[in-house]
Structure 1
Amino acid sequence: MSQQVSAQDSTQFDKIRQSIETAVDSLQPERLIGLNTKLKTLTQTGDPEIKKYAYYYLGYSNYRLQNSFPQINEDQQEKYLDEATGMFEKAVEIDREFAEAYAMLGSCYGMKASGIFSGMKYGPKSDNAMSKAKELAPANPRIVMLDAIGKLYKPSMFGGSIEGAIEGFKRAAELFEDWQRPNTYAPRWGEAEVYAWLGQGYVKAEKYEEARQAYRKALEVKPGFPWVKNMLLPELEEKSE
């Protein structure tokens, strides 16, 4: 009976995972919110692998609700960030070697380090979580990408570097080309997104033609990618006029 329940949970989880990634790509926050309710039931499963990935994807969903939808107000974004942080913390409690969750946790802590006092509290937590992720899986492309995103936004005195971020995005893009997921449940997102981030790095460096090429590559990997097609490319054209 337990094997049957586990198989049912596995099938349900895979459908929800695919739906979450589709909702993120197609910029549908309402769909994400609905999927969160379904995911919460899977945090009660007896299968520890499904359980940790259910927490991971709950965190991922809330992380996206926090930073991918400008129509969501700042107070609600903060709540989604708190929820995401809590979910990733639970994921690493289940598996102390869950590199993907440590990287996302590091990213969440980094976003919480938005001022002097919050920076003192969350900056070291962000660095520690990201360092743990890189130690566990140095060739994981999402971890390399998330580390580069941190570099792109950190002040230089805390390790930020536009050029360092660009090099990180390039390395992540190379790693995605040969990346093999370690199991059925592992995340798949990021292969097109890394080029979107590379383009943003080039924009910050005022290298607009390189940014345009990176965005075009993102659209090759994921045709019609709304974030790039509808937001980043139009912003670039305005800047480069």
Structure 2
Amino acid sequence: MEAWLAYLILGAVAGVLAGLLGIGGGLLIVPVLVWLYVHQGVDAAVITHLAIGTSLATIVPTAIASARAHHAHGAVRWDLVWRLAPGVVFGALAGATLAEFLSSDMLRRVFGVFEIALALYMLIGTRPAPQRPLPGVATLSAGGGVIGLVSSLLGIGGGTLTVPYLVWFNVAVRQAIGTASAVGLPIALAGAAGFMIHGWQAQGLPAWSAGYIHGPALAGIAIASFLTAPIGARLTHRLPVPLVRRLFALLLMGLGVKMLV
């Protein structure tokens, strides 16, 4: 019962963040699941892979709910979603395959370094980007490939990379966030499928697991995040997003350090 309550609370918070910042929630879900699995006595050799695969699976309903909410506000550039989709799907499958060649400890450290680097980027900020025209389909798809690979490898929804990538090409921030929410769906579907397939024969998985996807955690997080993602999407149009990003960056810094020690 305690585990279910933890999954529901984690999903609720991740859902709000997904809608608010255009992320899939994985930046929070992965480190918290790693911590929960350690305390549940899950085999250390599969903990990080299990947390990442489960995180990707939970992003599917979150992305759907968040994208619908942003679409209702006219904030999803579907033309960009279709251009990015082929690349992110290929990249997500490649990321799941690459993860299979890394140990659980190595994968955890890669995640921790990425999270700390991202936190510093969010805290320091960047100068406004100059006017840049949108590139062609090939360039967008190639960028999507990189986004999909990194996102799948780390179990995140892609918004962390998609938002700055689109803003770089002069897409409005709120449209970039809404579009990133929609792009998170193909990333999550392809990435979760890859982790399920690669983990199908893995030893030491907890009960009710399908490959590197843990059923109870998936159900609890997905239910809660699906309900709260629209709340975050509405808050995007009411709260000072830059302030929220900086507060979230401090949280990421702490989680990243925890993943390294």
Higher Rg:
1
Q: Shorter-chain TM-score: which interval?
A: 0.3 to 0.5
- Structure 1-normalised TM-score? 0.33
Greater RCO, CA 8 A, separation 6+? 2
